[in-house]
Structure 1
């Protein structure tokens, strides 16, 4: 268990920046949903869907590649760092300029009217700055500098939150005379009401610039070196990861891009397609609690898995880690799904957003399977068969597009949520089956499957039987949550010494 404790401790440190930072960012959701209509928030949701997708293009698998080659015997890590960052510097500059030139077509895909091209330009700059921080952050992870990593990440997030509060809450309150009217002359020079939701992107842009500055020591240590023959094996390893990442982003974000295109007119009476995107995007945020655990785990697990790959008992270690990861995520799934009414009313400040809460349990379970897939994917990264990840991700992307095409006209954004769940479930199952052939690990698949079935059954029961009385309903949901926790304790506690079984 000492190995698992080491991973858990690193996950906890990374989780400080991930969880605390995400919680701070998540506290902006009530601000956004109070300040912006669902249609306005749809612009934010749509453009950030592109950000998630294009982040993969800007870094093209180089983070994982850096970890893999840095752990090979005889590798000069400083030279590797310089070569990879040099390549990323050139590609980032080219991609940022290209994206700026394509601002209008990009907005057209989201059916955003002309006059908002500056939003796309700011998004391009955000992508460029974030790409330049990727390898310095990867270096901190490789060197086990988790605290510095967490501190810089958290500083950038705090800056983003503070700027959002300043531009979206403080400045409008001053300009309206609600707060400190004596500051109106000063605020007039800093704040332009016509920018509107654009301040969400501007705040992010300033925060990304601050993050780059805080990585100054890692960047000043960098020396530009570009040798294509040196980079050739890196690119050969990386490009399947990029394709896999692109497929993953298709699965994760394409629904918010396709929704305004494939949603029939007046599907939701009196609401535009951008309004539907805004509602779906806001409710998608409620699955963040699952994403927090997954992201913190990934930061610690990737270098950990590579370091453990040469250990004799590594398969048993990987099996044990998957088991406890899945059970922890199952607790989150049950707890949030059965109490989503309270979370929704707390974070979604306008009633128009609450109609989308039905997608939350589906998306939570989908993200759980995504986390399982990340665990299982260790086999093709350790065996240098990353092309399998490309095949699995491409299969998921095809399924995502096909199901969205079929289900959006029938079910609206509920269809998008179901497509997401089906995609991640298929990817996890496929990765597990292929891994059994190429890198056998004694995963307790049947046992975990039964636990997830039990969790899903409790959630379905809680949603199916909804007492009208508020107190009775909440007691019922709390009882189901406690039932799951008690069952876990009774069954798994006696098996702690056999956690990998």
Structure 2
């Protein structure tokens, strides 16, 4: 199998766990938004925003470090894996212990004095996810994509099943029944967190074979160079979380209303953010398959040409996702409750933002392959600073719409800066005409659809189908048909 075809096939398999699996999880959004008020759902959005930051910190960038150092001739892959796994296990246990000691004052500071248990549950979830990150990375490095996907899907399936069990079955059970006794209304959205915790515990059990026979190794000869390489990735990842999650973490504090209204606005924004998830899920699936591909393919003579081709097809597919969601938004809006639909204007903005994030992921090979992770960290820090500044400036003026525009401005600027630096340190001749052409075509079709529906009174389904058909025709003639011919000739 050719390396490019292997990348496509593994992206599809990882997509089974990331896109398909998390899409099933995404189908819980109607359950949440039809069950809880916008204010209650705001609590969920806020806690998962905090979780994103701590997930990066607790991983220490060692996934990427593991991929890099297991390839080095002077390192034993088994010792690299054991050292990283032992380090993450100890730091995760220390984190859970610290939260257990200080969870009550932390809950007061976050304005959740009645639910300090939420912090304990989330600390356990984060620790389990951090400890299992290296076993998942090992499966990816060994090209065991199907096992990776199977465990991920099992975790997601259990999360869905427990949510349905608690929020539909137990919550509606007849008073006095065993099911009703398992549901305490005072816990509220905490049942969402408990379902996540149970699924994370199951994930750890399924990954135990990847722990068996691995000694607890904290050798400085292994950890010191690996951490020196990986810690800048923490800065990059943390800055990425600032770009992705900061808005939902600070909306409650920056919106110019009372606490209840601010939480309601946060809930609306968080629910509408979910409508852009198709783009982010594809980017995540590509990241899973792309990172080991970029490293393993780097030594080939045609590596840079392959990276440019990957970028073309990546942008082509991302623009398709953008059009699919925006042109059929009248359908997708029913995935959230009526109370949340006033925030639909953020969806196209967030889809574009995630598209540029994917472009940045593609471009990031320059600092990973040239071992300039420190310089890559500065790019991410610059994006995080821009995100923070724009959110602080625009949220009081424009509400959550300002957060959406800040996200787009951040990712677009990061992609631009990363492209410039990449051309200096690891130049790849990307086909800018084709990449920008797909972006321009997507925006033009989106604008034409809005004009046809709002000004000319066209039926949204008819206008959207026509626009999507035009895009597929152009993409088919420009790239899909030539690729098909080359594959047949080979």
TM-score, length-scaled by structure 2: 0.95
Confirm whether residue 241 of structure 1 aligns to residue 233 of structure 2: yes
Query: Conserved in 2, the CA contact under 8 Å of 1:7 and 1:304?
Result: yes
Structure 2, gaps ≥5 residues long: none
Query: Conserved in 2, the CA contact under 8 Å of 1:82 and 1:223?
Result: yes
2:408 aligned residue = 421
The Cα of 1:342 is off from its aligned counterpart by 1.0
**Aligned runs of 1:224-373 on 2, under 5 Å?**
224-265=216-257, 272-345=261-334, 347-349=335-337, 351-373=338-360
Query: Conserved in 2, the CA contact under 8 Å of 1:318 and 1:441?
Result: yes
Q: 1:336 to 1:105 in 2, by over 3 A?
A: farther
The Cα of 1:468 is off from its aligned counterpart by 8.3
1:447 is aligned, of 434, 446, 461, to 434
2:365 aligned residue = 378
1:395 aligned residue = 382
The Cα of 1:193 is off from its aligned counterpart by 2.2
- 1:58-82 superposed Cα distances (whole Å, 9 cap, x missing partner): 1010000000001112431111111
1:208 aligned residue = 200
**Aligned runs of 1:8-407 on 2, under 5 Å?**
8-104=8-104, 106-107=106-107, 110=110, 112-175=111-174, 184-265=176-257, 272-345=261-334, 347-349=335-337, 351-407=338-394
Query: Conserved in 2, the CA contact under 8 Å of 1:58 and 1:131?
Result: yes
Query: Conserved in 2, the CA contact under 8 Å of 1:341 and 1:357?
Result: no
Query: Conserved in 2, the CA contact under 8 Å of 1:287 and 1:363?
Result: yes
* Farther-moved stretch of structure 1 (93-102 vs 401-410): 93-102
Q: Is the partner of 2:479 in helix, strand or coil?
A: helix
Rounded to whole Å, the distance in 1 between the matches of 2:446 and 2:458 is 18
Query: Conserved in 2, the CA contact under 8 Å of 1:259 and 1:273?
Result: yes
Query: Conserved in 2, the CA contact under 8 Å of 1:330 and 1:452?
Result: yes
* Farther-moved stretch of structure 1 (89-98 vs 196-205): 89-98
Query: Conserved in 1, the CA contact under 8 Å of 2:38 and 2:263?
Result: yes
Query: Conserved in 1, the CA contact under 8 Å of 2:79 and 2:222?
Result: no
Q: 1:228 to 1:73 in 2, by over 3 A?
A: closer
* Farther-moved stretch of structure 1 (296-305 vs 418-427): 296-305
Q: 1:164 to 1:59 in 2, by over 3 A?
A: same
The Cα of 1:461 is off from its aligned counterpart by 3.1
* Farther-moved stretch of structure 1 (19-28 vs 462-471): 462-471
Q: Is the partner of 2:459 in helix, strand or coil?
A: helix
The Cα of 1:190 is off from its aligned counterpart by 2.5
The Cα of 1:188 is off from its aligned counterpart by 4.0
- 1:354-385 superposed Cα distances (whole Å, 9 cap, x missing partner): 00111001101100110111111011111111
1:180 aligned residue = none
The Cα of 1:98 is off from its aligned counterpart by 2.0
Rounded to whole Å, the distance in 2 between the matches of 1:253 and 1:100 is 24
Rounded to whole Å, the distance in 2 between the matches of 1:482 and 1:243 is 42
Query: Conserved in 1, the CA contact under 8 Å of 2:107 and 2:116?
Result: yes
Over aligned residue pairs, what C-alpha RMSD do you find?
Answer: 1.9
Q: Is the partner of 1:173 in helix, strand or coil?
A: coil
Rounded to whole Å, the distance in 1 between the matches of 2:107 and 2:434 is 47
2:396 is aligned, of 399, 409, 423, to 409
2:472 aligned residue = 485
Query: Conserved in 2, the CA contact under 8 Å of 1:25 and 1:161?
Result: yes
Q: Is the partner of 1:223 in helix, strand or coil?
A: coil
Rounded to whole Å, the distance in 2 between the matches of 1:116 and 1:224 is 36
1:181 aligned residue = none
The Cα of 1:450 is off from its aligned counterpart by 2.4
Q: Is the partner of 2:274 in helix, strand or coil?
A: helix
Rounded to whole Å, the distance in 2 between the matches of 1:107 and 1:369 is 35
Q: 1:168 to 1:468 in 2, by over 3 A?
A: farther
- 1:95-119 superposed Cα distances (whole Å, 9 cap, x missing partner): 2222334434554565x43111111
Q: How many residues align?
A: 486
Q: Is the partner of 1:175 in helix, strand or coil?
A: coil
Rounded to whole Å, the distance in 1 between the matches of 2:431 and 2:474 is 17
TM-score, length-scaled by structure 1: 0.93
Q: Is the partner of 2:137 in helix, strand or coil?
A: helix
Query: Conserved in 1, the CA contact under 8 Å of 2:315 and 2:438?
Result: no
Rounded to whole Å, the distance in 2 between the matches of 1:98 and 1:370 is 33
* Farther-moved stretch of structure 1 (474-483 vs 186-195): 186-195
Rounded to whole Å, the distance in 2 between the matches of 1:105 and 1:355 is 35
Rounded to whole Å, the distance in 1 between the matches of 2:458 and 2:171 is 39
Rounded to whole Å, the distance in 2 between the matches of 1:207 and 1:430 is 39
- 1:12-54 superposed Cα distances (whole Å, 9 cap, x missing partner): 1111111221121111101001110000000000000011111
